[in-house]
Chain A
């Protein structure tokens, strides 16, 4: 009698444990799903892998807040999040802190070259790849093609055209992001790089001061940007343009889809950013990448998920349904993708040459210093020269 009970008990245990062994759940921390494309991709993955369930944990919209939430989890070595979507400026920091694992052994060199070089560089720290690029971003110039016949090639041209059109049509000439936050640094670097200043050590060189002075002049001397541009982030500046109140806008690619649904639809052109004479047009690289937590208990399943999300099929869906720039070169020449966004082909060279911000574990501190000093120059509390000199001193102390 007892033997029967014991045998039944153990066979129950075996069958039960067999069931839980097969089903795995992984958690994916990602930003807000505004288009529904993320959920769609998760469902496709779950269909292809019936034993896996993906728990999509939506993070707050702001990148800074997401960073702080991630820090809380990772500093506590919490295994409850397996895959993290990280901004292009975080891989070095997270890798240096030992929070994410390198993925070199899971990606062949040949496969690496299928991705855009900029995002791959941003995800590389000490010669190891720590995240797989998911979607990318690059700063672009939007303009009213009904008012401007051909987009300006240099900053001086932009100022001249903006001045004339501003008077004529009683709207603002140029809007961009100049609030004291990360976006300001993106804007600033675009001017800096387009004047051939490429190293952070040259941040106080005459060319760099000239670049910063130009932004100050745009607001103060030429007055083609409203003085409230120093409080604008992406959405505030986008609002002014899509409501028809600006000739030029510097912003990210996501504005395209929104512009087509606004009152300026069919009147919007896209072009590479202007540059200084003798310089090259330079876009700031943005974008988000997928990394696997060091403390995850399901690293192999997480890797499978990451590989799926960055595959050709998934990126194509995310480009069309989600309006996001793919990181695989092949997606840009796909026919369906081009039908949706014809500007992808023209601006491909923009995306290919987009530059990452300094890749360093101390980037957040460097960025903070730059944000404060540049904002002081833009609000005329300091001259451009003094701000950059002060920034250089403080950055030297960190590096």
Chain B
């Protein structure tokens, strides 16, 4: 009883800041609220939600978002793990390298997006210049102007920005593995590959799951990178759930449907979180 009383203020704050807005958003989605007309909100029940499930654009956005999330998180995991293993070794200037590897993560996403927009620029971009000089490209390519390369450009920018985040979390996890385990396995005759597979990876699983949880949730809600680099194009092929929601709310002033889309994004994220948490719980049973 005393415990509950102690946590009551914090719980009240969470209810106020988290639960009430979510419930209100769901409630708003039950109305037709179009700010362009001066009419009062009209109660339409689940009509907005039915519209959502028949909206082709939502499925396209969901597919784009899922592809983006899967691709960028997996690449970030592999790269992040490699960097973490590297940074765990002793070498000169390790402290400096560790600190500077955090710079991409520290930059505001807007700055990163503008930076990469220029890197992929067809006339003045560095990527075109480098690939042209090496001989891999015959002509300058419009990376952000073609459907098949635009998404990869955005993924590249996201990987650059958030790999340090995974690196740091995995580095912390690596440092929690007792050194004696490695020493003992050496005595038993294990090579580095066996050490990695049987000691490092299993003990790193909780950290990996935590890093993946954070990254998946963030990648699923991606907005600023896409908004600035491509604006949803070309031919709307990089539109994500968040950017479609934003457009519905602010460009079309359709707050009822926008609230519905927000709830949909929220439910997807909720499902992803639950799946991860189930794995996390199992992961701790050692």
Contacts and interface: CB of A to CB of B under 8 A. Distances in A.
B123 interface: yes
A180 B234 contact: yes
Given A180-B231, A368-B252, A372-B236, A71 B145 contact: no
A226 B128 CA distance: 15
Contact of A379 (B123, B140, B145): B145
Contact of A179 (B35, B140, B231, B250): B231
Nearest to B254: A365
A75 interface: yes
Nearest to B144: A231
A64 interface: yes
B38 A368 contact: no
B250 A379 contact: no
A12 interface: no
B264 to A, nearest CB: 19
B175 interface: no
Contacts of B140: 228
A97 B38 CA distance: 5
Given A361-B37, A368-B247, A228 B122 contact: yes
A97 B36 CA distance: 4
A96 interface: yes
Contact of A375 (B35, B37, B144, B235): B235
A227 B38 CA distance: 44
Contacts of B231: 179-181
B236 A376 contact: yes
Given A75-B35, A97-B37, A231 B250 contact: no
A231 B145 contact: yes
A68 B249 CA distance: 9
A149 B247 CA distance: 45
A179 B233 contact: yes
B74 interface: no
A301 interface: no
A340 to B, nearest CB: 32
A303 interface: no
Given A97-B37, A228-B122, A71 B250 contact: yes
Interface residues of B, number: 25
A67 interface: yes
B251 interface: yes
Given A227-B142, A379-B234, A381-B147, A67 B36 contact: no
B253 interface: yes
Contacts of A98: 38
B63 to A, nearest CB: 15
B236 A71 contact: no
B284 to A, nearest CB: 44
Contacts of A239: 123
B80 interface: no
Contact of A230 (B123, B145, B252): B145
A386 interface: no
A54 B234 CA distance: 42
Interface residues of A, number: 33
Contacts, number: 83
B164 interface: no
Interface in B246-264: 247, 250-253
Interface string B226-237: 000011111111
A393 to B, nearest CB: 11
B33 to A, nearest CB: 10
B100 interface: no
A364 interface: yes
Contacts of B82: none
Contacts of A379: 145-147, 234-235
A381 B251 contact: no
Nearest to B230: A180
Q: Could you say which of B230, B234, B237 has the most chain A C-beta atoms within 10 Å of its C-beta?
A: B234
Contacts of A67: 250-251
Contact of A231 (B37, B122, B247, B251): B122
A227 B145 contact: yes
Contacts of B146: 227, 379
Which among B36, B250, B252 has the highest number of chain A CB atoms within 10 Å? B36
A72 B253 CA distance: 10
A220 interface: no
Interface string B110-147: 00000000000011000000000000000010101111
11 contacts: A68-B250, A97-B36, A179-B233, A181-B231, A226-B142, A227-B145, A230-B142, A231-B234, A375-B233, A375-B236, A376-B235
Given A97-B35, A180-B232, 18 more contacts: A96-B36, A97-B38, A180-B234, A180-B236, A228-B123, A230-B142, A230-B145, A231-B144, A231-B234, A361-B37, A365-B252, A368-B247, A368-B252, A375-B234, A379-B145, A379-B146, A379-B234, A382-B235
Interface of A: 64, 67-68, 71-72, 75, 93, 96-98, 179-181, 226-228, 230-231, 236, 239-240, 361-362, 364-365, 368, 372, 375-376, 378-379, 381-382
- Smallest CB-CB A-B distances: 9 pairs: A180-B233, A228-B142, A228-B122, A376-B235, A231-B145, A98-B38, A68-B250, A230-B145, A372-B236
